[in-house]
């Protein structure tokens, strides 16, 4: 057979294999060598197919195992989220209760959450986790439960404190006079108290004394909150007791001395109180005043304000104390103004204080408006001055106008 009888495609393949020359067929040895090469090729191809088949089986098994692990991890994640959601729901019910300690024990909630975590992350599951990620997740969940317990405990304490503060605030409001004016034949008194917190440390009171006299007290306790409110309660009780024991026959300096002894005995100098007392006498047309370390009150006459100066130590500073009394003559249309330092030390958003100078000018402007209007005018101007700046102290203003 000549090359011309062979198919052209076969000729090309034989030439590519290097066993066919132009016009002649290769000798037998070349054919044998060719066949061996072809046979080796097919044997190698078969071996490659077997390797590929085995590789495919291994890959299929690996994919199957990966799918199983992924399914297991998804189940763990789902159960984990369910456990966390259940814990949050339990803790939310406790936190949303009016009294968290009455709905369910916080420690019991933590114990139940811990039990669920242990059930979820058993020893076998954690042991199978070579990366240690599950152990880290478990530790984080335990820390989450501990943090929730801590927050709930704080919330419970704050709830108790809030109830105590509310009770103290209500009690303090009961002890303080209302904002309705106090009318006497000789004088009209109007006061107001503004607390910076639930409980304040300011105090004011008015009592009817013998012979038609009127006693006005204004005080300020150092500090704020429940301790300050307790001292104001003690001051109220001490002043009321002093008026009752003397049957209304008490002077300004005398009542401060009695209040000083009661407050010192109650707080042992841990807390002190500034206070000013004034006795308005219609028969003598006078005001007799004494001062226990408090800001001087003003007497406004003919649009001119002057301080009523008297000196004495704060209440509670010593077991006993003496307070000088100073008397000033009153005239019709005179106005008396008492205040606490929360008014003159109030700041606006730029850090500027209201100051006593501004208050004195304001008193001279509003004194002729009457006790109620003057009091409200002072508070309104203070509010405008302060703007959105939060108060840093309690404010008390008391105004008395002589008829």
pLDDT at 75: 63
pLDDT at 118: 60
Is 154 part of a structural domain of the chain? yes
Pair 148, 275 in one domain: no
Handedness of CA 347, 348, 350, 352 (dihedral sign): negative
pLDDT (tens digit per residue) in 86-135 = 655 655 565 555 555 554 555 666 566 666 666 655 554 444 554 455 55
Structure tokens at 288: 């007799």
pLDDT at residue 295 is higher than 70: yes
Is 195 part of a structural domain of the chain? yes
Query: What's the whole-number mean pLDDT along residues 198-227?
Result: 85
Nearest-10 Cα torsion for 113, 115, 116, 119: 160
Pair 109, 157 in one domain: yes
Question: Would you give the distance in Å from CA 124 to the centre of its chain?
Answer: 44
Higher pLDDT, 141 or 247: 247
Is 231 part of a structural domain of the chain? yes
Structure tokens at 373: 């209007």
Identify which of 400, 399, 385, 393 has the alpha carbon closest to the alpha carbon of residue 220: 393
Q: Which of 148, 170, 192 is the last residue of a domain?
A: 170
Confidence of residue 47 (pLDDT cuts 50, 70, 90): confident
219: enclosing H helix or E strand = strand 214-221
pLDDT (tens digit per residue) in 339-364 = 999 999 999 999 999 999 999 999 99
Higher pLDDT, 20 or 287: 287
Pair 227, 345 in one domain: yes
Query: What's the whole-number mean pLDDT along residues 269-283?
Result: 91
* Partners of 200 in the β-ladder: none
Pair 263, 317 in one domain: yes
Contact 224, 203 (CB under 8 A): no
Handedness of CA 215, 377, 222, 237 (dihedral sign): positive
Domain with 329, as residue range(s), is 181-402
Q: What is the largest CA-CA distance in the chain?
A: 159
Question: Would you give the distance in Å from CA 142 to the centre of its chain?
Answer: 26
Pair 374, 392 in one domain: yes
Q: Cα–Cα distance between 120 and 72 in angstroms, integer?
A: 12
pLDDT at 160: 58
| Residue 226 belongs to domain with CATH number | 3.60.40.10
Pair 162, 189 in one domain: no
Pair 257, 317 in one domain: yes
Q: Considering just the CA atoms, what is the radius of gyration of the chain in Å?
A: 47
pTM, to two decimals: 0.62
Pair 358, 334 in one domain: yes
């Amino acid at each position: 057979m000549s090359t011309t009888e062979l198919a052209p495609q076969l000729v090309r393949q034989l030439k590519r294999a290097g066993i066919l020359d132009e016009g002649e067929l290769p000798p037998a040895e070349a054919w044998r060598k060719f066949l061996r090469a072809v046979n080796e090729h097919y044997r190698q191809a078969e071996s490659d197919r077997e390797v590929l088949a085995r590789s495919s089986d291994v890959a299929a098994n690996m994919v199957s195992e990966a799918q199983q692990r992924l399914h297991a991890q998804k189940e763990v994640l789902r159960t984990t989220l369910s456990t966390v959601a259940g814990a949050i729901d339990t803790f939310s019910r406790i936190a949303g209760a009016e009294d968290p300690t009455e709905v369910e024990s916080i420690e019991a909630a933590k114990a139940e959450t811990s039990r669920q975590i242990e059930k979820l992350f058993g020893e076998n599951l954690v042991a199978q986790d070579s990366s240690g990620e599950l152990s880290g997740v478990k530790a984080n969940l335990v820390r989450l439960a501990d943090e929730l317990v801590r927050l709930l405990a704080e919330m419970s304490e704050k709830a108790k404190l809030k109830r105590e503060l509310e009770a103290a605030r209500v009690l303090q409001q009961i002890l303080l006079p209302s904002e309705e004016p106090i009318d006497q034949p000789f004088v009209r008194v109007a006061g107001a108290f503004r607390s910076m917190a639930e409980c304040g440390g300011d105090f004011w009171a008015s009592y009817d004394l013998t012979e038609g006299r009127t006693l006005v007290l204004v005080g300020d306790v150092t500090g704020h909150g429940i301790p300050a409110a307790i001292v104001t309660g003690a001051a109220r009780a001490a002043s009321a007791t002093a008026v009752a024991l003397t049957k209304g026959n008490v002077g300004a300096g005398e009542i401060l001395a009695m209040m000083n002894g009661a407050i010192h005995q109650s707080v042992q100098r841990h807390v002190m109180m500034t206070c000013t007392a004034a006795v308005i006498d219609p028969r003598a047309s006078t005001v007799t005043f004494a001062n226990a370390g408090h800001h001087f009150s003003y007497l406004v006459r003919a649009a001119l304000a002057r301080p009523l100066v008297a000196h004495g130590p704060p209440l509670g500073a010593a077991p006993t104390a003496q307070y000088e009394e100073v008397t000033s003559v009153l005239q019709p249309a005179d106005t008396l103004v008492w205040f606490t330092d929360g008014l003159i030390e109030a700041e606006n958003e730029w850090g500027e204080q209201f100051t006593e100078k501004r208050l004195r000018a304001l008193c001279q402007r509003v004194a002729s408006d009457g006790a109620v209007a003057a009091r409200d005018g002072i508070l309104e101007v203070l509010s405008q001055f302060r703007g959105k700046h939060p108060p840093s102290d309690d404010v008390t203003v008391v105004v008395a106008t002589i008829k």
